[in-house]
Amino acid sequence: MGLKDKTYLTRTYGESLGKTSVTGYCIKFKKLKDINLDVLEAAIRDGFEAQSLS
Instruction: Determine whether 15 is exposed, middle or buried from the number of CB atoms within 10 Å of its CB (0-12, 13-18, 19+).
Output: exposed
Q: What is the pTM of this model?
A: 0.76
- For residue 34, what are the contacts with CB-CB under 8 A and spacing of at least 6? 18, 19, 20
* Whole-number pLDDT of residue 42: 93
* pLDDT, tens only, 11-30: 999 889 999 998 877 889 99
Q: Average pLDDT, whole number, for the chain?
A: 86
Q: Minimal CA–CA distance to 34: which of 22, 11, 9, 17?
A: 17
Residue with the bigger pLDDT between 46 and 41: it is 41
Q: With beta carbons less than 8 A apart as the criterion, state whether 51 and 28 touch.
A: no
Q: What is the pLDDT of residue 2?
A: 64
pLDDT given for residue 22 in this prediction: 87
